[in-house]
Amino acid sequence: MVQEINFDGIIGPSHNYAGLSFGNIASSTHAGQLSYPRQAALQGLAKMRHNINLGLAQGFFMPLDRPNSGWLNALGTGIDDAEAHIRAAAYSASSMWAANAATISPAPDSMDGKCHITPANLLSMPHRSHEWPDTMAQLKLAFANPDHFTVHAPVPPPFGDEGAANHMRLCTGHDGTGVEIFVYGKAGGPFPARQHVEASKAVVRKHGLPEDRVIFAEQSQQAIAAGAFHNDVVAVANERVLFAHEQAFAHRETFYAEVKQKFPQVEIITVPADKVSLADAIKSYLFNAQLITLPDNGGMALILPTEAKETAAVWSYLEQLVSGNGAIRKLYPVDVRQSMANGGGPACLRLRVVTDPKLVDPRFIATNKKLDIISGIIEKHWPETISPDQLVDDGLRKTVQNARRKLLEACSLLELQA
């Protein structure tokens, strides 16, 4: 049966706060703090369990090998000699944010009837730019069936592509044909616009999406300047619902008109700036929720970060929203604070793939039993804390590498070992 499967990135043992993402306010404000990789990974697992227990299909991806010695070698250095910012970039556990792994066009959307996958090149941020080769290897393994999936090469430089974080899909049911929205940035005031329109256009062409079911929308400069470094910080879509902040898009009315023309069944919920300011939206990550359809006609629900509950204006808006008779009926706050402190909420941690789970390599499909095994590995092998000045320690390197190896072993995925 075709379903939406959320693949979460398991939070890697090198999770730390090095302040690497300029334009991502949480990353900058937590720079230098002590991180808790074990707690971080367990928070991620608890979110997966929460969603499985709601009846949703769940998958996961392995963390990448860190520090990335191949990348350091290509830069003519190594972990001991690298400059501090390069060493930190090599150590980043940023592949946890699976929404940036790739852009996915489900089979019903494409002209050849296959599910198309393009790994994101993430070239705007040095620490993320070296994720894609290993992410691509993993995607090729998970979605290996050539009759159903095509895994493309990433868009070449200089066009920055950040994957599903800037991509939304509207459809009447997950197995029906969808209209895909590609959000790009042109300017971000003091901050970079990471998604380039030429990259979005390339993905559309490679995925073979027909023009009448594709929309390009410019992210507002105001949103990027306020810290919305990805569109999924200010907007989210599920089935026929688009839930967005009033200031998310550069040309809101023109964009909404095109959405209504190409997908007349749409229900747009715009959160007004006088109810929730852009600053509160970004601080609380209200839109970085997983907007999901509950099984058994339960309506839709938002899986939100607990920070949304702690932001008064946001929570009172949401309580009002779900008390009406609208599409969104339930709110489920989840604690992913360790990831949030680096700017990654519940939606950043997952990549949505609409397909039949039977077509996916079963090693990447989660069950509560498998998550028990994984949490055992994490409790035993993930470092409890990391401070950025520890990245020079050889002991930490060995601990991090050994921890990932134990996880690969437990999941029968040692072939991902470099």
106/171 Cα distance (integer angstroms):
11
211/219 Cα distance (integer angstroms):
20
Smallest gap from Cβ 228 to ligand SUG, in A, equals 9
Among 60, 61, 71, 97, binds ligand SUG (CB under 6 A): 97
Question: Does 14 help bind ligand SUG (rule: CB under 6 A)?
Answer: no
Smallest gap from Cβ 248 to ligand SUG, in A, equals 13
C-alpha dihedral sign at 239, 242, 243, 249: positive
Closest CA to 166 of 246, 107, 108, 249: 249
299/297 Cα distance (integer angstroms):
5
Smallest gap from Cβ 381 to ligand SUG, in A, equals 21
Smallest gap from Cβ 223 to ligand SUG, in A, equals 12
Which of the following is catalytic: 115, 171, 348, 411? 348
Question: Does 344 help bind ligand SUG (rule: CB under 6 A)?
Answer: yes
Order of strands, edge to edge, in the sheet holding 235-238?
Answer: 235-238, 241-245, 267-271
Q: How many residues does the chain have?
A: 418
User: Which residue in this structure is represented by tokens 């300029």?
Assistant: 22
Which residue lies nearer to ligand SUG by CB, 231 or 355?
A: 231
241/299 Cα distance (integer angstroms):
11
| Residue 185 phi, psi (nearest 5) | -120, 150
Window of 5-13, 89-97, 215-223, 296-304 that interacts with ligand SUG by CB under 6 A: 89-97
Window of 11-19, 79-87, 268-276, 370-378 that interacts with ligand SUG by CB under 6 A: 11-19
Question: Does 87 help bind ligand SUG (rule: CB under 6 A)?
Answer: no
Question: Does 6 help bind ligand SUG (rule: CB under 6 A)?
Answer: no
55/296 Cα distance (integer angstroms):
9
Question: Does 289 help bind ligand SUG (rule: CB under 6 A)?
Answer: no
Question: Does 18 help bind ligand SUG (rule: CB under 6 A)?
Answer: yes
Which pair of tokens denotes residue 352?
């949505």
Question: Does 342 help bind ligand SUG (rule: CB under 6 A)?
Answer: yes
Which of the following is catalytic: 162, 218, 239, 307? 162
Question: Does 233 help bind ligand SUG (rule: CB under 6 A)?
Answer: yes
Q: Reduce the DSSP state of residue 373 to 3 states and report it.
A: helix
- Tell me which residues in 140-169 interact with ligand SUG (CB under 6 A): 165
Smallest gap from Cβ 92 to ligand SUG, in A, equals 5
Window of 53-61, 198-206, 228-236, 373-381 that interacts with ligand SUG by CB under 6 A: 228-236
Which residue lies nearer to ligand SUG by CB, 234 or 377?
A: 234
Question: Does 348 help bind ligand SUG (rule: CB under 6 A)?
Answer: yes
261/79 Cα distance (integer angstroms):
54
Among 6, 68, 100, 247, binds ligand SUG (CB under 6 A): 100
First to last CA, the chain: 34
Question: Does 121 help bind ligand SUG (rule: CB under 6 A)?
Answer: no
Window of 132-140, 208-216, 229-237, 321-329 that interacts with ligand SUG by CB under 6 A: 229-237
- Contact (Cβ atoms closer than 8 angstroms) between residue 86 and residue 120: no
Closest CA to 247 of 268, 216, 229, 226: 226
Which residue lies nearer to ligand SUG by CB, 114 or 350?
A: 350
Closest CA to 234 of 221, 249, 251: 249
Question: Does 130 help bind ligand SUG (rule: CB under 6 A)?
Answer: no
**Strand ranges in 273-339 using DSSP code E only, listed in sequence order:** 290-293, 300-305, 328-334
Phi-psi bin for 351: left (phi > 0), alpha (psi -120 to 50), beta? beta
Which of the following is catalytic: 116, 167, 230, 381? 230
Q: Reduce the DSSP state of residue 173 to 3 states and report it.
A: coil
Window of 19-27, 57-65, 270-278, 374-382 that interacts with ligand SUG by CB under 6 A: 19-27
Among 12, 19, 119, 333, binds ligand SUG (CB under 6 A): 19
Among 5, 10, 11, 20, binds ligand SUG (CB under 6 A): 20
- List Cα–Cα distances, 340 to 234, 334, 346, 404, in angstroms: 15, 11, 8, 22
Active site residue 348: yes
Active site residue 196: no
Smallest gap from Cβ 204 to ligand SUG, in A, equals 20
Residue type (1 letter), 48: M
Q: Could you give the residue numbers annotated as active site?
A: 162, 230, 348
Residues forming the site for ligand SUG (CB under 6 A): 17-21, 24, 27, 92, 94, 97, 99-100, 125, 128, 165, 229-230, 232-233, 342-344, 348
